[in-house]
Amino acid sequence: MTPKKSRIKDIARLAGVSIGTVDRVLHERDGVAAKTREKVRQILKETNYSPDVMAQVLKSRKGYHLISLLPEPSKDNVFWEKHSAGINRAIEELDLFRVSLTQITFDMFNEEDFQRKSRNILSMKT
């Protein structure tokens, strides 16, 4: 059985401080006494705390637009088809988190095509 993941609330309870204090320590903000800061850091380390990225994304209400640049698959080289399909499947699963995707392909035997499409991506406003 996998151990339960520590939350900021759990860290605060173990340290005997508020959730806001733990948040200030995590984000290295002022307003926390050195002794308290060290105590919270020690508990973070002992509990192997790591932030819940999905919770942060949901809370932020921010959308993310990803762009993939992959070689075009061909009948002689279908290797790249699976990458595109896998990325699409992952994006569908992340729909709740406001993640969208633009997939761009390039001719892997044409350096100019790769460079042109790379420049286009870098100039996109997303």
Tens of pLDDT, residues 48-78: 998 877 777 677 777 888 899 999 998 888 8
The segment(s) of the chain belonging to CATH 1.10.260.40 are 8-51
- What average pLDDT does this structure show over 8-35? 95
d(CA 56, CA 60) in angstroms, rounded, equals: 6
The segment(s) of the chain belonging to CATH 3.40.50.2300 are 58-123
| Domain boundaries 8-51, CATH class | mainly alpha
pLDDT score recorded for residue 3: 59
Residue 9 and residue 19 in contact, taking contact as beta carbons nearer than 8 Å: yes
pLDDT score recorded for residue 126: 56
Q: Which residue has the tokens 């948040």?
A: 23
Average pLDDT value for the chain: 88
d(CA 15, CA 9) in angstroms, rounded, equals: 10
Which of 100, 36, 113 lies closest to 67, judged by CA? 100
Secondary structure (3-state) at 97: helix
- What average pLDDT does this structure show over 35-57? 89
pLDDT score recorded for residue 1: 47
pTM: 0.54
CATH 3.40.50.2300, applies to 58-123:
yes
pLDDT score recorded for residue 2: 46
Q: Which residue has the higher pLDDT, 4 or 120?
A: 120
Residue 48 and residue 6 in contact, taking contact as beta carbons nearer than 8 Å: yes
Residue 71 and residue 106 in contact, taking contact as beta carbons nearer than 8 Å: yes
